[in-house]
Amino acid sequence: MREFDSIVIGIGGMGSATAYHLARRGQRVLGLEQFEVPHDLGSSHGITRIIRLAYAEGGGYVPLLRRAYDLWRDLEVQAGERLLLVTGCVDAGAPDSATVRGSLESCRQFGLEHQILDAKFLREQFPGYRLTGSMAAVLQPDGGFLLPERCIVNFVKAARALGAEIHTRERVIGWDASSGGAEVRTEQERYHARTLVITAGPWASQLCPLLRDLAIPERQVMLWAQPLRRELFQPGIFPVFNLEAPEGRFYGCPVYGVPGFKIGKYHHRHENVDPDDIDRQIHPKDEAVLREGIRRYFPDADGPTLAMKTCMFTNSPDEHFILDAHPGTDNVYIAAGFSGHGFKFASVVGEILADLALDGGKKYDGQLGMFRLARFA
């Protein structure tokens, strides 16, 4: 049985960052991924992923976001390529909606630069938007998007450069922990380490049954449309958006990589799934859900569909993250339940998990209360 200091199960957004931060702190790291690096079967793909500093989900996230931005910029320097593009971010909805109120509150609490725009003024500044007359928007200039596949690849490259081993196409079938560490069994081998970190995304509850009702996978669909007026949806012209509308909560990005405007909808068709048996086919109902948002609020983007892709959210009951030690163990740590808004935090979550595993979370102790498992007791 091979020995390591730390084992990380799942090398997507969170796991790749965790492997890097553990290796950066001198650990002999093994990362285990059941698919490839990167892959499009979980939650960490899609060409672009939103990052926003104004945070309607709660002001407690903002200090972590500031650290996340710094760590993404550090990774860019190491990688020698651009991974985070700033476009500005629009949080929009009815003036009394949770999205607008929460975004505005986080801006005021942390002194974030922002503007409050009505629908008419937003359209004048960014003609791709066509909000209804009663809607308002909070424009925060630091928002933008990350390139998730390139982020993961570069975290893995950086971890390997520090001596980490990353094994792909090696599925974990079980683990056990004792005071002496953790033993991990895969379909090919057995390994032992002093600490184990589980960042398995939609598969987290398979490895940790205590998460069965706390980290529930949900089928999502993303759509890329060819805009009718492509010039209105370029990164320098069109901010990313988080839009709470009567039809649901839509999110999206300007044209990048593929020549398409990207849109998704939180809790797309409310389909909880088994991650090993998810329907990855795209159906007319999937496109209809997203076309409703395009035609109502971004009609100049309502051109032909270029691509559609499934992914998964893994939802916690309160849609806040789970970052904690596994109950009853001294050396197993869990990151799960990122509920569709986690990828932007991957750079700092990796640092948090390394800190939990090696120092008991001292650096972030005052910031992790909202993510502890005890809140569900």
Return the active site residues.
45, 48-49, 262, 267, 311, 344
User: In the 8-state DSSP scheme, what is residue 255?
Assistant: S
Closest CA to 88 of 52, 112, 134, 120: 52
Strand partners, 51: 144
- CA atoms of 186 and 34, how far apart (whole Å): 9
By DSSP bridging, strand 89-93 and strand 136-140 are antiparallel
- CA atoms of 367 and 57, how far apart (whole Å): 15
Using DSSP, state whether 125 is helix, strand or coil.
helix
User: In the 8-state DSSP scheme, what is residue 46?
Assistant: S
DSSP secondary structure letters along 274-329: -TTS---S--HHHHHHHHHHHHHH-GGG-S-EEEEEEEEEEE-TTS--EEEEPTT-
